[in-house]
Every structure is written in structure tokens, then in C-alpha cells.
Structure 1
Amino acid sequence: MEALTRHARRTRTVVIGGGIAGLASAALLAREGHDVTLLEARGELGGRAGSWDAGGFRFDTGPSWYLMPEVFDHFYRLLGTSAAEQLDLSRLDPGYRVYFEAQAEPVDIAADREANLRTFERIEPGAGAALDRYLDSAEETYRMAVGRFLYTSFASFRPFLDRAVIGRLGRLARLLLQPLDRFAAGYFRDPRLRQILGFPAVFLGSSPGRTPSMYHLMSYLDLADGVLYPQGGFTRVIDSIADLARAEGVRVLTGARVTGIRAAAPMTSRGKTRRTGAARPPASAVAGVNYLGPDGTTVELDCDVVVSAADLHHTETELVPAEQRTYPERWWRRRVSGPGAVLVMLGVRGELPELQHHTLFFTSDWKENFGRIFGKNPSVPAPASFYACMPSATDATVAPSGTANLFLLVPIPADPSLGRGGIAGAGDAAIEAIADAAIGQLSEWAGIPDLMERIVVRRTVGPGDFAEDLNSWRGGALGPGHTLRQSAFLRGSNASARVDGLYYAGGTTIPGIGLPMCLISAEILLKRIRSDTSTGPLPEPL
């Protein structure tokens, strides 16, 4: 298995989308020797991991949890640097706080595993030892996932036919078939503890009752490994990867909206692909892309390879010609979207000691809450379980002195018809009402009765914004949820089956949702192009 090397041959490659997956893909491919142009439709980079400034406040508009730090560090080392060189990381302690409906006291999750064992024991006798076993299982599952499943394209199943995997087939089957909520219930009786262990399913675009218990590995990340924060926010992460991509020679064009991917008959015979030589039925081959420049002029850009890090549904149903689609609309009718969301960005006078950097608010009736989001007749939960981020607790640069920067994420059904957000209450009525309800709920549960009156900056974002600005399928905030049928190789391939030279990266393809997964998707892309079917991370340069 070769490390990243420079080759003499220059493959003309276009990357669509300037989010973290597109930037990471472009950087790795340029280092590999490709001649890379990255096209981003919006005026700024970052995609879902964007930012917004107003009144001296700076908000990350998307991801806000820095987990799986070794994935970031590995990616940076592939490009000859490190996370320590690129980022100023702070460890959060507590990692996060949880408020529960009808409970007077919140629960803090510490940066230390032993402290969390004591917290669980205090809430439920015997739960400390149970959490110890649970986290041992979570760590083992995490190590297995990193070594065997997350870094593979599933282009070949031969690497899985070894004793290490075969010997764990029984356990793997249980972890895949048993939902996360039932798995946690096997360890704990107290509903608060079950909720703490089940809520990571939401960040995977699903619910605890629909997510395979394989993903209990997430609890190792926050309860044992700890939660970090990059000073300057996640904008700093995006900027660092964009800088590295440019240093590798990537041409980054913003305001360049791709309108189509062009394909033609491949220059081969006997049904061989141009790039891998693997036998398969004759296919079309990438010829280039068309995009609209900032002045509205159509540009035709020829290339050998296209990597779409845009939403996969948008790519396949809007950019690829109908007869060349691997994932047409009928495929998506069998898929399950992750939740939509209302995002609320608030600049607040005064400090908010009742909140931590990360704070979660959990309703008592989760079945009702998640049923409204993912059920057959979806509706907005009321009250809702939601998440609040206050980076001003850790980062002095994101808010003026004596104020607080507050970001709320309220999971709701993925439905663009619910509307769009706006600034200073100017969003659609349904979105602003959801925001008002969340602010009121936070105010009541955390004991901040004057919160609404202290707001000096306000912006909301709704599913309509995700659909319009990010081409997000069904206006979802995250992408296809991590249900059993949408995990691992069942999530889809990162290479087109009908257009040779067309590949995918990002949270809507393998391995899935989240910034670390997007970095891994860029590495899997490189391995796919190399015809590398290994299951672990690439070797790092000395």
C-alpha cells in the first residue's frame, strides 16, 4: 500500500463543492499529481461548515463538535503537517451539559472517563460499572470500525474474509440488527442515562430507535476520548484545509455554479474502463463540466475526472444526464433522509453561566419526539429536544466582551415547505415560531428568564435554506440518515457505475455524516482512484 506520492502524469480533475470534503479531496488529489480545479457555487467556502458575522459576533453555521481527533491529525499528516501545527485545540471540561424535562438539575459530562463513571453511579446505583463495560465495548467497536470499515470503498469484499472479521461476525450481526436504544437499555434503567447514550444518533441523521447499535461507538468519543474545540471556530478548520489545497496547486473558484457533468463514449474496447482496466459493461466516460461564472456566463471545462462533493441527490438527479445516472430518483424514493433543522444564531447581552460550550435539552417522551420527526405523518415536535452551542464560553474572539454567542439546532422533519429563515425575525412564520419556542424552552429549563430581552443579534435558517443554498436533498440538515440500510456498503458507492471517471465524496456518500467522516471520504476517494481495496488508513509520510 503506497503513501501519497507525486506522479509525472497530470490528470485533469474537477472537484464540485468547496465544503470540507471537496477541499480535502482536492488537496489529496493535487498532492497525488492531479491538475485540480475546485468549483464552489457560493461566494465563500465551507458548505455546511460555513460562518456568519454580525454586530461583532461570529457564528459557525454548521458542525460544532470536534471529535475523532486522530482522524484530523492523520489527514493533516498525509499533507505533510499536523493538527497541532494547523489548529489551536482546547479540551472542553465539561465536554457538555444536559438539561432534562421536569428535572431541576442538569448533568455535566466531564472530559475524564472516571468522572463520568462516578456521575452515572450517582444517578443509578451500579451504573458506573455498567458504563465502564459499555465504554469498553464502544472503544473496541470504534477501533474495529476505523481499522476495517470506515476507510474502505467496499470495492472488494476480499479484505473482510480474514479471521479477525469472521471471528466477530456474530457480534457484528447483533450490533447491526439491534437498535441503539435497546442496546443502551440492556445496560441502564434510568431514562436520563439512556438518553445521554442515545442522542448521538441525531448527529448521525437518525433516531436511537432506528440507528444500529454499532454506533454506540460514538459514546467512546465523548465520554472517554473527550471533546475538543479549535480556537477561531470551525471556520479555522476550513481555512486551514483550503490553504493546504491551494499550496498543493489547487485552483479554487468561488461563484462557480456547476450546471452539468458532461460524459461521452469511452476511448476503450472490450468493455474495459479507461482508468482501472476492470471488466464491466461499456459505460460513458467523463468529458467535463459546465458551470456558470460569477457574471452568469456559461463555461465549459474539459477534464478526465470529476469528483462531486456536492449533495449526491443533486449530483445524480440534476447534474448527470438521465440515461447515465447510477442513483436516479426512484433509488431515492427508498431512502430515508436525516432530520431537517432550524438553526438559530443569537448574540446575547451579558454572560450565560447556566450553559456550557455544548448544552443539550432532552424531552421526556422521546418516542413522541422522534416519531414526529421521522414518522409517517411528520410534524414539528413541541416541546423539542435540541442542542445549544455557546463557543464564547471557550473562545474570546467570537463575541464582544461581556456578551454571549449562542447557536441553537432544533431537529425537525426534513421538509423545505416549512420555509426559510431570516435576520432579525424576518424569516418565514413557521421557522421563526420554532425559533421562539426553542428560545423560550431554553430560558425556562436553564433558568434564564430574561433571555429573549437580551438578544441583540438574531438569524434563523430553515429547511428551505438547506435546499436552496446547499442543494440538500429534501432540505435535510445532515444527509441520508445512518439506518441499517444506509450504513457501510449499503449507503452506496463513491464511484458512478455508469460514468467512468465520476466519483463522489462527502457526507451523503460513504462513510457518512460528520466532519471526520468527510475527511475519510476524501481518503477513500483517493484509494478508489488508485484501485486500493485496503480497509485501513493510508500510510503517512515520514
Structure 2
Amino acid sequence: MKKNIAVIGSGFSSLAASCYLAQAGNKVTIYEKNQTIGGRARQFKKDGFTFDMGPTWYWMPDVFERFFQDFGKAPSDFYELEKLNPAYRVYFGADDYITIEDTLEKICAAFENEESGSSIKLRKFMDQALDNYNIAIKDLVYRPGVSPLELVTATTMKKIGQFFSTISKDVRREFTNPKLISILEFPVLFLGAKPSNTPAFYSFMNYADFGLGTFHPKKGMYSVIDGIKTLAEELGVTIKTNQNVEKISVENGKASALIVNGEKINVDVILSGADYHHTETLLDKNYRQYSETYWEHKTFAPSALLFYVGFDKKIENVDHHTLFFDVDFQKHSQEIYDSPRWPEEPLFYASFPSKTDSSVSPLGKEAGIFLIPLAPGLDDIPEIREEYFEKIMVRFEKITNQEIKKYVIFKESYCIKDFVDDYNSYKGNAYGLANTLMQTAFLRPKLKSGKVKNLFFTGQLTVPGPGVPPALISGKLVAGLIEKEKKN
């Protein structure tokens, strides 16, 4: 039976879910608070420069392919994809870096160059990572998190020890070189937790990194948003922007309407891809399934201080993706998770998409995106942002042996306050809930409300978790639950 479905938000998960729901014959309308769609994956343009405001890494291309195949399409129908070589560069000090290239063979050579015998250990580690990838990404993550039994299969029972060990322990059991350890622990940062708190099973992220590689969609990640938007509209989805959802109305225990910009809109089903905590505040208190205490005790992924910078020159000695691990990773992670505060010496990441894609900056200039991971909920004022821009510019110039600050045409910052203002993000987190053992699968907030019929959730605070590929999967999972509910 055809349903009138309202979707709150237009990030990856909301757009994906809308496509599936429209394909099933429903009338689907997206209500987006901001002027443009995309959620955290919005785009910023200025003076001929184009920046992805959120995700900049395109990993797990098979997940994107599987999504589009569900509609008889391919990513190439909507955007052009290029595999990066090198995938990224990791700096450990001035003129001290390791380059991660585009094949496992080349990466093994880089490891061997750093530490004799490490390539043999890496191949063994990657065999396990591939095995985990096949179990997780091709099967487990496509389960909706409604029961612990979803995790109980013949293959996962053989892996049970990996759920109770950690990435950090497994890596350090095989590797002693601190640089190689840092590189192997890096991919799980996308899951929002410390490697020492992330189950070893999540080594499948290393396969995503070394086995599948890093890609760049021409014109940036926003071209993927544009592609899914085009697909959604072809399927009949209506997308409305500047639509602030103020309340979710409940009648007889069922979600019945949205109040949007003061207007009541009656619907059959409500799906929220907005911040989960915020969405529940749109309900009367007795209809909220998670208390403030519940959210306060959860481990959230970091927030971030971002800078979008236009440079009046080409930047040297960097790659499209460049990581700066020249300071103590353990100390910075403690300042995010254990004793939340502004970090003394932060690790940071820099992206220069114009190294690959000439469409994102004027000729002879460079578009730069800088990201510092932070604890959510910190005080965020302009003076602190400026202080940290100075910090990373000084280190950047020293490490890469060049002047860049005097070539800044403009810079725009984005931090905790902006995440709250633009996305109603809980404490200004950037990535959702961390994938720790106690926040995995059925232990995450549910896709379906336990208190209000016909109310559903999707996105990075529910299953499967943070990241763009999981967001696409989350959209598929919740659409499946909604369709199942219709039949009952």
C-alpha cells in the first residue's frame, strides 16, 4: 500500500532511504533545514574555489556500486571516479614521510623500506582484513540491528576473539615500528573511536584502505550527493529546502504529522536522518525512547575544526590527501576521549583536491581543506579557531619546507558551534556515535522507534555507524524496515 512518507534531512542516509522508499511506490518528500541538500556533505564555493565541507574520502567503492545497482544504475551514470595514486601521504616530521600508493604490492614495498620483514607481516594482516571485509561489508552491515542473533553466524563465531581484542592490540602484536603502527591504526579513526577501543574485527577498514584504495569523484564528494539527488527525483522524490522541522506530532501512539516552518503537514510515516538526539527532542517527552542520561554516557565520535582555504599558489610536497602525524597520537586521542579539552599539539589532516581535480580551483591556485579532530562539546570561539590555524600553519610550513600562509587568499572556518547550528548535532559531534564494542550493531540506537509507531531513524547515530558507505547502507536498512512494517 502506498504511503505518504516525510523524510527529515537530506544527507547520504536520507537520500538513499528516499530512493528505496520511492522505488517501492511510496510518495516521499524530503524536508531539509538548510538552503542546500547534502547534510554534512554540503559544498562551499568562493572566488572560483570549491570545497567539500564534510567527507573528502571515497572508500569502499563496492558499497556505492551496490547501492546504484539496486536501481539498475552504476556510479558512472552520475559521476566520474578516479583512483588516486598516491592514495595519501603521512608526515612524521620534516622531510620524513611515507607514501601510500594504489596497490598492495607498492604498499608492501613501502613497509619493507621502513622495516625489514614488515611486508610479510602486512600480507598476513591483510589476508585477515580481507576475510573480515567479506564478512562485514558483504553481509553483517546489511542487517538492521534489531537482534543480537544477527551477529551469530558460522563465520562470526570463528571470529569471536576479534570482537574482544582491539585493533591496537592486533597491530602491535605484529608490528613494532611506530610509523607503521600509526598508518595501520589510521583507518579506524573513520569509525570515530580510539584504536585501543575498536574491536579487532574492524580491521576490514584496512582492506578498504590498502586493498580497495582511495578514489576521488570529479568535482568532489558533492557530485555523489548530486547523483543520488538526480536518482531520487527520477524515482519521484520531492525535495524541499529551507524547511525547518519544529515538531513531530503523535496521535494514538502513531507519528501523524510534522510541524514545518509553522505549518502542519499530515503524513503516514516519518523518517529522520537528522541528528537522532535532536529528532527525539521534537517529540513530547513521554514519546522519547532515549533519555538525556543515555546520550551523556555514550562515546561520541570527534567533532572537528575545519578550515577551507584558497591559496594564491600551488602547494608543494603534499598529495591530494596528506596526514600530519608528527606529534603524539596517544596524547591527542586522550584529549578527545579521556580528558576532553582543546589539544596542545593536534594531529591534523590536509586535503588538496585541486592536486587531482582542476575544476575545484582557479588555474595556478590551490584549494586546501584542513581538519583537526576535537572532543565534542568544547567551547568554540573565533580566537581559539585563529590560534589553531596559526599552530598548524607553522607546523605545515616547517614540515613541508615552504611558505604558504602569506599566500592565503581567504580562509573560512567551521567548528563545533557550526555543527550544532547547521545540523543540530549533539554537542557538535562531526561523525556520530563511535563504533566501540558496546556501540556495535544491535547495541546502537534503533532504526525504529520503540515508543511511536511509524517513526524511524537513519544515519550515523544508528546502524551501521559513521561514514558515507555506512550511511548508504543505513538508508537501505531503514527503508526495508518501513516496507516490512507496511505488510504487518
Identify the TM-score tier after normalising by the shorter chain: over 0.9
1:98 aligns with 2:52: no
- Distance in structure 1 (CA, Å) of the matches to 2:151 and 2:428: 36
- Distance in structure 2 (CA, Å) of the matches to 1:474 and 1:231: 33
Conserved? CA contact 2:140–2:151, under 8 Å:
no
Give the residue type in structure 2 aligned to 1:89: L
Correspondent of 1:336 among 275, 291, 299: 299
1:130 aligns with 2:121: yes
Does the C-alpha gap of structure 1 residues 210 and 134 become closer, same or farther in structure 2, counting only changes over 3 Å? same
- CA-to-aligned-CA distance 1:21-57 (integer Å, 9 cap, x gap): 1111111101111111100000100110011111111
| TM superposition score normalised by structure 2 | 0.97
The residue number in structure 1 matching 2:397 is 443
Matches within 5 A, 1:215-254: 215-254=202-241
The residue number in structure 2 matching 1:59 is 51
Give the residue type in structure 2 aligned to 1:248: L
The residue number in structure 1 matching 2:260 is 291
Alpha-carbon offset, residue 433 of structure 1: 1.1
* Structure 2 counterpart SS, 1:444: helix
- Distance in structure 1 (CA, Å) of the matches to 2:362 and 2:301: 35
- Distance in structure 1 (CA, Å) of the matches to 2:336 and 2:306: 16
Conserved? CA contact 1:199–1:207, under 8 Å:
no
The residue number in structure 1 matching 2:478 is 525
Conserved? CA contact 1:43–1:255, under 8 Å:
yes
* Structure 1 counterpart SS, 2:39: coil
Aligned residues: 485
Task: Could you tell me which runs of 5 or more consecutive residues in structure 2 were left unpaired when the two chains were aligned.
Answer: none
Correspondent of 1:508 among 461, 471, 478: 461
Alpha-carbon offset, residue 417 of structure 1: 2.2
Does the C-alpha gap of structure 1 residues 22 and 75 become closer, same or farther in structure 2, counting only changes over 3 Å? same
The residue number in structure 2 matching 1:34 is 26
- CA-to-aligned-CA distance 1:463-510 (integer Å, 9 cap, x gap): 111111111111111111111111211112110000111111111111
- Distance in structure 2 (CA, Å) of the matches to 1:344 and 1:160: 40
- CA-to-aligned-CA distance 1:496-528 (integer Å, 9 cap, x gap): 000111111111111011111100001111222
The residue number in structure 2 matching 1:149 is 140
- CA-to-aligned-CA distance 1:255-282 (integer Å, 9 cap, x gap): 00101111111xxxxxxxxxxxxxxxxx
- CA-to-aligned-CA distance 1:153-177 (integer Å, 9 cap, x gap): 13345565553444x1xx22x2222
Alpha-carbon offset, residue 288 of structure 1: 1.2
Higher helix share: 2
Correspondent of 1:493 among 423, 446, 465: 446
The residue number in structure 2 matching 1:80 is 72
Alpha-carbon offset, residue 135 of structure 1: 0.7
Conserved? CA contact 1:15–1:38, under 8 Å:
yes
- Distance in structure 2 (CA, Å) of the matches to 1:389 and 1:197: 20
Does the C-alpha gap of structure 1 residues 159 and 183 become closer, same or farther in structure 2, counting only changes over 3 Å? closer
Alpha-carbon offset, residue 208 of structure 1: 1.6
Identity %: 31
Deviates more, 1:345-354 or 1:156-165: 156-165
Give the residue type in structure 1 aligned to 2:198: T
1:199 aligns with 2:186: yes
- Distance in structure 1 (CA, Å) of the matches to 2:204 and 2:11: 26
Conserved? CA contact 1:363–1:383, under 8 Å:
no
Q: Which runs of 4+ in 1 moved over 6 A?
A: none
Conserved? CA contact 1:342–1:435, under 8 Å:
no
Alpha-carbon offset, residue 90 of structure 1: 0.5
Give the residue type in structure 2 aligned to 1:249: G
Conserved? CA contact 2:31–2:245, under 8 Å:
yes
Correspondent of 2:321 among 344, 358, 379: 358
Question: What is the root-mean-square deviation of aligned Cα atoms in Å?
Answer: 1.4
Alpha-carbon offset, residue 285 of structure 1: 1.0
Matches within 5 A, 1:384-463: 384-419=346-381, 428-448=382-402, 450-463=403-416
Give the residue type in structure 1 aligned to 2:239: V
Alpha-carbon offset, residue 313 of structure 1: 1.0
- Distance in structure 2 (CA, Å) of the matches to 1:256 and 1:411: 30
- Distance in structure 2 (CA, Å) of the matches to 1:395 and 1:159: 42
- Distance in structure 2 (CA, Å) of the matches to 1:176 and 1:440: 41
Conserved? CA contact 2:143–2:150, under 8 Å:
no
- Distance in structure 2 (CA, Å) of the matches to 1:65 and 1:80: 25
* Structure 2 counterpart SS, 1:48: helix
Correspondent of 1:110 among 93, 101, 116: 101
- Distance in structure 2 (CA, Å) of the matches to 1:104 and 1:301: 59
Give the residue type in structure 2 aligned to 1:32: A
Conserved? CA contact 1:13–1:306, under 8 Å:
yes
The residue number in structure 2 matching 1:464 is 417
Conserved? CA contact 1:418–1:463, under 8 Å:
yes
Give the residue type in structure 2 aligned to 1:379: R
| TM superposition score normalised by structure 1 | 0.87
